[in-house]
Structure 1
């Protein structure tokens, strides 16, 4: 069974440009090596931030890929865990990871470090370099 992951927006942005050293992570996701877990809130943030960086056309293109990918897992958490106080907006990724039983959240955001100190519900977090290493050695 393919691993379920949650991809923080900062790592999605790092992985999209074809010349990015992290582009292999995006390719692994769209090829279906991993199940990308998303909620409506996450999709809205993806679209907003991609539009800000590269415009609406690119955002629409990327969103279309994510939405139509057969290994994208759509879910909307019915419970809000509120585990991150420093940036409550990041909790949407945590809630998605818990509800979808994701293996981990891929992020470069230090606000997620607090999750390493929480035993329940357990949410693992890795950086994009570690995820890239996993992708390259799969």
Structure 2
């Protein structure tokens, strides 16, 4: 299964008490593949640096690169078309474009701006982190 993850969720994947730590664990366990583009990676690093400090911004990028090289669970995508699916927040289009080009199953997000993707004819559908974790990830400690 392939997913694209919105920045608001990625920020909650890091730290010992991170609310979406289970996503990071599932990724490293090979339960899904994370699709992202360079444009998305830059946003992750920029937001992490702004909200948590420069060292955190670099750590997010390093984690993604190490996961890509050692686990093969990161799919780098270069969208060559802009689908313009998120009319209320065009900055979020980069996530929809990446998800569509990656043939992703879901965009994991807390953002309501992704609702136009539902029933729009594209494969990727928005899903909350809670729903994704409960529906698709194994409970912790399950082999």
TM-score, scaled relative to structure 2:
0.87
The residue aligned with 2:22 is: 24
CA distance in 1, matches of 2:124, 2:34: 16
CA distance in 2, matches of 1:67, 1:25: 16
The residue aligned with 2:3 is: 5
How many angstroms does 1:104 deviate by? 0.6
**Which of 95, 98, 119 is equivalent to 1:96?**
98
1:123 maps onto 2:121 in alignment: no
CA distance in 2, matches of 1:76, 1:30: 23
The residue aligned with 2:46 is: 48
The residue aligned with 1:81 is: 83
CA distance in 2, matches of 1:123, 1:58: 29
How many angstroms does 1:58 deviate by? 1.5
CA distance in 2, matches of 1:8, 1:29: 15
Q: What is the alpha-carbon root mean square deviation over aligned residues?
A: 1.5
TM-score, scaled relative to structure 1:
0.90
> How many residue pairs end up in the alignment?
135
CA distance in 2, matches of 1:22, 1:136: 14
The residue aligned with 1:59 is: 57
The residue aligned with 1:37 is: 35
Question: Where in structure 1 are there 5+ consecutive unaligned residues?
Answer: none
Q: Contact 1:30 / 1:66 at 8 angstroms: preserved in 2? A: no
How many angstroms does 1:55 deviate by? 1.0
